[in-house]
Amino acid sequence: MYPFRTITHPTADIQHPAILLHTSQGKRYIFGKVPEGLQRCLNEQKLRVSKLYGIFLTGKLNWESIGGLPGLILTVSDQGKKDLNLFHGSNILEYVVSTWRYYVFRFGMALNPRVIAQHHPHRDEIMDVQAFVINSSKSDNNEPLSDEVSEKLRAIVQRMFPLDVNNNTPVEMESDGVSQKSDPTLSDPYIHVKLPDIEAKEASTCYAIDLHPVRGKFNPKKAIELGIPKGPLFAKLANGSEITLDDGTVIKPDQVVSEQRIFKRILILDVPSIDYTESLLSTQWGENVGIVYHFLGKDIDPFDGEYMKFIKEFGPACTHYISHPLYSPNSLTFNGSSKVILKLKTLQLDKYNLPESSGALVQLPHEIPANIKILVQGQVVNIEAAAADSDNKYTFDDSAVSLKTEKDWSNTYDTEVTPLDLKTNNTKEQVLDLKNVSSNSIDPNQPLKGQVETITFGTGSALPSKYRNVISNLVRVPYKKGEITQFRSILLDAGENTLGSMKRTLRQENLESYMRELQLVYLSHLHADHHLGIISILKEWLKFNTSDDDKLYLVTPWQYSHFVYEWLKMETDISGIERIVHISCEDFLVGKTRPQIAQIPFESFMTDRNENKKEDVKFKRDSQSVNQFFQDVGIEKFETCRAYHCDWAYCCSISLKLDSDSMNVDNDNSNTFKVSYSGDTRPNTYMFAEVIGQNSDLLIHEATLENDLLEEAKKKRHCTINEAIEVSNVMKSRKLILTHFSQRYPQLPQISNNTVVEADYCFAFDSMIVKFSDIGDQTEVFDQLDIAFASEKNEKDEDS
Tell me the mean pLDDT in the region 519-536.
Answer: 97
Q: What is the pLDDT averaged over residues 21-48? A: 92
User: Where does a domain end: 337, 366, 397?
Assistant: 397
pLDDT in tens, 581-602: 999 999 999 999 999 989 999 9
Angstrom distances, CA of residue 688 to CA of 473, 657, 727:
19, 21, 8
pLDDT in the model for residue 799:
31
Judge if 288 and 181 occupy the same domain. yes
Q: How many Å apart are CA 75 and CA 532, to the nearest integer? A: 14
Quick one: what percent of the chain has pLDDT higher than 70? 92
Q: How confident is the model at residue 386 (pLDDT cuts 50, 70, 90)?
A: confident
**Residue 187 pLDDT level (bands cut at 50, 70, 90):** low
What CA–CA distance (Å, rounded) separates 638 from 657? Answer: 11
Are 232 and 301 in the same domain? Answer: no
In a domain, residue 409? The reply is no
- Asked if 339 and 234 sit in the same domain, the reply is no
Contacts of 409 (CB under 8 A, 6+ apart): 342, 354, 432
| Domain match, 362 and 300 both | yes
465 and 589: one domain? yes
270 and 245 in a common domain: no
Q: Distance between CA atoms of 720 and 723, rounded to whole angstroms?
A: 5
In a domain? residue 417: no
Going through 678-734 in order, the beta strands assigned E by DSSP cover 698-702
pLDDT digit string (tens) for 542-574?
999 999 999 999 999 999 999 999 998 888 778
Are residue 153 and residue 245 in the same domain, yes or no?
no
Does residue 184 share a domain with residue 230? Answer: no
The pLDDT of 621-640, averaged and rounded, is: 96
Give the three-state DSSP class for 220: helix
Burial class (CB in 10 A: 0-12, 13-18, 19+), 143: exposed
| Mean pLDDT rounded to a whole number for the chain | 90
Q: How far is CA 217 from CA 210, 220, 237, 608, 720, in A?
A: 21, 9, 11, 53, 61
Q: Mean pLDDT, to the nearest integer, of 379-389?
A: 84
> What amino acid is encoded at 484 in this protein?
I
Domain boundary, last residue among 229, 255, 281: 255
291 and 309, same domain (yes or no): yes
Using alpha carbons only, how large is the chain's radius of gyration in Å?
A: 29
Within-domain flag for 325: yes
Secondary structure (3-state) at 13: coil
Count of domains for the chain: 3
Instruction: Give the CA-trace dihedral at 747, 750, 756, 757, to 10 degrees.
Output: -20
Residues 111/160, Cβ–Cβ less than 8 Å: yes
Question: Same domain for 229 and 306?
Answer: no
Q: Read off the pLDDT band of 607 (50, 70, 90).
A: confident
The verdict on residue 430 lying in a domain is: no
Least confident range of 35-39, 377-381, 429-433, 605-609: 605-609
Q: How far apart are CA 15 and CA 35, in angstroms?
A: 6
Is 413 a domain residue? no
336-346 pLDDT, tens digit each: 999 999 999 99
CA 734 – CA 692 distance, rounded (Å): 15
Q: What is the 3-state secondary structure (H, E, C) of 130-197?
A: EEEEECCCCCCCCCCCCHHHHHHHHHHHHHHCCEECCCCEECCCCCCCCCHHHCCCCCCHHHHECCCC
pLDDT of residue 449: 96
Structural domain ending residue among the three candidates 397, 429, 458:
397
pLDDT (tens digit per residue) in 153-186:
999 998 888 866 556 666 665 433 333 344 555 5
**H or E segment and range at residue 380:** strand 380-384
Structure confidence at residue 304 (pLDDT): 85
Domain that holds residue 251: 220-255
CATH number at residue 127: 3.60.15.10
Per-residue pLDDT for 141 more than 90? Answer: no
Q: Which residue has the higher pLDDT, 86 or 797?
A: 86
Structure letter (DSSP) for residue 665: B
**Residue 392 placed within a domain:** yes
CA distance 323 to 339: 26
Residue 310 placed within a domain: yes
User: pLDDT-derived band of residue 736, with 50, 70 and 90 as boundaries?
Assistant: very high
Give the length of the chain: 800
Higher-confidence position of 190 and 35: 35
Note whether 324 and 470 are same-domain residues: no
Span 767-794, average pLDDT: 90
Q: Which segment of 423-437, 631-645, 702-716, 740-754 scores lowest on mean pLDDT?
A: 740-754
Question: Using CA atoms, how far apart are residues 701 and 688, in angstroms rounded to an integer?
Answer: 11
Q: What is the pTM of this model?
A: 0.92
- pLDDT value at residue 793: 62
Containing 41, the helix (H) or strand (E) segment is helix 38-44
Range 193-217 average pLDDT: 89
**Could you tell me if 228 and 374 lie in one domain?**
no
pLDDT category at 268 given cuts 50, 70, 90 is: very high
pLDDT at 393: 66
431 in a structural domain:
no
